[in-house]
Chains A and B, each alone.
Chain A
């Protein structure tokens, strides 16, 4: 490391308090980032990691007002009094929401946006855009509108859009949040390639540690409660017990080693599975693997939902789903996974009756649902959208949960009884008289679930229930869903979180390119190289660990991990 150089970013005794908050968000931040380094900032939600990002790119104090203490130097200069425009020439930010960042009507225009603001002449601008688009491999789509691009492609456009400025520092705010696993992997690889080839300083803010560590990272900065609690290489970090205590998920292969009682040391290079030296861990891991754990209970209850050769297209010319058949039994918790745009959400819409099936049929408890209206289906099947803000339409929690019953004309006494019951199940009873605006994202999610549960549904379909949540909130939401499942509610979860599917669902339906590619246990899906590749999923690192170990059956190894974890209870 080139420590003799001057840092490109330096926080010195830095603190920040939003005017809207009673407590400071950041305290005593001392952090030096050197030119050409690649830094990963991790931390649970609300730890202040995004605030650090806002300070680096100048959104603080430009858009978010508050009180700054201490100093932030960029390129050796005190940033006090510098405008967001000065900063935008040094720092390029790729935001989490690639749709929000896509301000142009086409990819080319969006990439050119910064140049337009800089008054670069049109001819010169076209050249730069073309060149930059090639770097991030989006040059084939310059004329495409955002609706024609996938999430990963939109992110590339955003990436190119900040590269045109020839900035020294690239800042990525949760780059993996909206991508399917394979696309996320490609995104991390692309960031890595650009970092290596163009010698940029790269700062990545993300809580999906394992996915970022798939490529080299110089240092990991761990933030908690507004303070930096660790600043070390990934290999060193894996050898500590800092992460589990903070509710950040360690890579699964590290967790497996710790379950097996292996003492992880920096010398084992556990920062990446590729570099991991397994020699000393082999024996304890194999011993652990041979322990007995309870097998998964079999579900032989009657079929609740059955799809028979379902085909559907939004337009008559192009189909979105082709010949999909599957069954869901009562009391199951099933995940639907697959490539972005493979029709996962469309399938949910068909089940709820938002769209009409072209061919084939859906059966609910043996009855054809073809002529059931949305309203009729909604008495049995509840649908929870990804973004709770899109579902909430009353200012008060009680009213929001009561809304469906009021639509149905139920009398107020019954409503009170049912709403209070649903709020109790969801752990929201103490908040019943609160306004929704006072709740966190996870709590809002619970409100939306409560507002569906109150209708006495039997089947709950959730679209990405944990998107953008850190491990603690993820566990909270998922344990809650599991408790609902234990109460007998059948649950279907649409997700591209491989951990969720592996740890909480008993079966995964894999969709890709309009068709169903697989329908088996999550462990088998995630240890099947061919299937994961086709469906843009990612093989679990447990599988790779098993290969390194030379375990007889990698699938069984991964399965053992899940069973073991279920038995001992998931630590948060």
Chain B
């Protein structure tokens, strides 16, 4: 039975030992840096960096494979659609036109379009290792603590951590309720018509909702009894204090963001790197 929402396994290396807060700041800075820029050189630089971090973290490729497949499918569709709807958008952006291959009068593959689309794809692709790196190397409990320290209100953070806590319980409830219904003759198999199957789902959902509401009452009482919401702030058992390497990591994150802004404003003069007017 699956009991954890995230596949978190503790390891002892630089990335895992960083505080959740510094990882969060790094994640935000690097993502913003990539989002901001359309300079493929800089994007590739950040991507290589994040792959390097991934390597250091000793995460296995298997852990992000599924996510990567989803993103790849999404990007492939996005790539094709972009071309279908605005095949010459790149030439508008860069102000030049270098044809590579002429398909019809409307659909011409240009160097500009290719650069634009490849850059865009790289942007999204580089986000995957970054995001997964943050999620998979941060202890779920520390996650809430680090969000709170990044100025998210603590009640919101606690709701998040309670979701992580009770999600598996609810899944388990769902399983047992569904089995009990099946033993009364409810059919979820493909033999039934889709409409009947959806209708049957409701017979599982109602008891699930009712038993979850019961649980909510107990949990909120339990939290009240232990003084939840007493003060305007709270501390965290799992919070890791910021040490030297955290400061270094945060500095690196900010430097990468600054680098992106520098490229945009000073080197390229716009968000786009334009090799065509050199």
Q: Is the CB of A105 within 8 A of B161?
A: yes
Contact of B235 among A62, A84, A121, A146 (CB under 8 A): A121
Residues of B within 8 A of A378 (CB): 182-185
Q: List 19 A-B contacts (CB under 8 A).
A: A59-B224, A88-B224, A88-B227, A88-B230, A95-B218, A103-B165, A103-B222, A105-B161, A109-B141, A109-B237, A109-B238, A116-B236, A162-B226, A354-B179, A375-B182, A385-B180, A391-B207, A393-B206, A404-B184
A116 to B227, CA, bound (A): 9
Q: Which are the 8 A-B pairs with shortest beta-carbon distances?
A: A100-B218, A112-B237, A407-B185, A114-B226, A404-B184, A117-B227, A101-B222, A105-B141
Contact of B187 among A353, A375, A383, A387 (CB under 8 A): A375
Name the distance in Å between B25's Cβ and chain A's nearest Cβ: 19
A147 within 8 A of B: yes
Q: Roughly how many angstroms separate A63 CA and B228 CA in the complex, as a whole number?
A: 13
B79 to nearest A CB, angstroms? 39
Please state if A147 and B238 are interface contacts (CB–CB under 8 Å): no
Task: Knowing A122-B236, A122-B241, A147-B168, say if A85 contacts B141 (CB, 8 Å).
Answer: no
Min CB–CB distance B107 → chain A (angstroms): 53
In the bound complex, CA of A108 to CA of B236 (Å): 11
A422 touches B (CB below 8 Å): no
CB distance B176 to A385 under 8 Å? yes
Q: Is B248 an interface residue when CB atoms closer than 8 A count as contact? A: no
- Are A147 and B3 interface neighbours, CB within 8 A? yes
Residues 120-152 of B, flagged 1 when their CB comes within 8 A of A and 0 if not, give 000000000000000000001100000000000
The verdict on A244 contacting chain B, using a C-beta distance below 8 Å, is no
Q: Is B252 an interface residue (CB 8 A)?
A: no
Q: Which residues of the other chain, A, contact B179 by a CB distance below 8 angstroms?
A: 349, 352, 354, 374
Instruction: Give per-residue flags for B209-234: 1 if the beta carbon is below 8 A from chain A beta carbons, else 0.
Output: 01100110011111111111111011
Residues of B near A550 (CB, < 8 A) are: none
Find chain A residues with CB under 8 A from B223 CB. 103, 113
A392–B206 alpha-carbon span in the complex (Å)? 8
Question: A487 contacts the other chain (Cβ, under 8 Å)?
Answer: no
A382 to B3, CA, bound (A): 28
Chain B residues contacting A162 (CB-CB under 8 Å) are 225-226
Contact A161 B226 (CB under 8 A): yes
Contact between A407 and B227, CB atoms less than 8 A apart:
no
Given contacts A85-B227, A100-B218, A118-B227, contact A146 B183 (CB under 8 A): no
Does the CB pair A119–B234 fall under 8 Å?
Answer: yes
Q: Decide if A9 is an interface residue (CB 8 Å cutoff).
A: no
A residues contacting the other copy or chain, number (CB 8 A) = 67
Extra A-B contacts (15), CB below 8 Å, given A104-B165, A104-B237, A117-B231:
A95-B222, A100-B219, A101-B219, A103-B162, A104-B141, A105-B140, A119-B235, A145-B4, A375-B187, A383-B180, A390-B173, A390-B176, A392-B210, A407-B184, A451-B184
Q: Which of B4, B204, B207 has the most CB of A within 10 A?
A: B207
Instruction: Say whether, besides A116-B237, A122-B237, A374 and B183 are in contact (CB < 8 Å).
Output: yes
Residues of A within 8 A of B (CB): 57-59, 62-63, 84-85, 88-89, 93, 95, 97, 99-106, 108-109, 112-122, 125-126, 129, 145-147, 161-162, 165, 314, 349, 352-354, 374-375, 377-378, 382-383, 385, 387, 389-393, 403-404, 407-408, 451-452, 455
Number of A-B contacts (CB under 8 A): 160
- Tally B residues with Cβ within 8 Å of A: 54
Residues of A within 8 A of B3 (CB): 145, 147
Is B181 located at the chain interface by the 8 A CB criterion?
yes
Residues on the A chain within 8 Å of B177, using CB: 390-391
What is the chain B residue whose CB lies nearest that of A391? B180
CA distance A521 to B40 in the complex (A): 78
Contact flags B238-276 to A (C-beta < 8 A → 1, else 0): 110100000000000000000000000000000000000
Contact B234 A100 (CB under 8 A): no
Per the bound structure, the CA–CA distance linking A102 and B169 in Å amounts to: 12
Q: Which residue of A lies closest to B140 (CB)?
A: A105
CA distance A361 to B139 in the complex (A): 43
**A119 and B233 within 8 A (CB):** yes
Q: What is the bound-complex CA distance between A105 and B4, given in angstroms? A: 10
- Residues A146 and B165 in contact in the complex (CB < 8 Å), given A119-B231, A374-B179: yes
Q: Which residues of A contact B182 (CB under 8 A)?
A: 354, 374-375, 378
Determine the chain B residues whose CB is within 8 A of the CB of A103 once the complex forms: 162, 165, 219, 222-223
**Are B229 and A390 interface neighbours, CB within 8 A?**
no
Query: Is A117 touching B218 in the complex (CB atoms < 8 A)?
Result: no
B1 within 8 Å of A by Cβ?
A: yes
* B115 sits at the interface (CB 8 A): no
The reply to whether A101 and B234 form a contact with Cβ atoms under 8 Å apart is: no
**Least Cβ distance of B218 to chain A in Å?**
3
Would you call B71 an interface residue if the criterion is a C-beta within 8 Å of the partner chain's C-beta atoms?
no
B222 CB to nearest chain A CB (Å): 4
A34: min CB distance to chain B, Å:
23
List residues of chain B with CB within 8 A of the CB of A119. 231, 233-235
CB distance A120 to B181 under 8 Å?
no
Please judge, given known A-B contacts A145-B3, A382-B183, whether A62 and B224 are in contact too, CB under 8 Å. yes
Of A114, A116, A126, A374, most B-chain CB atoms within 10 Å: A116
Task: Determine the chain B residues whose CB is within 8 A of the CB of A120 once the complex forms.
Answer: 235
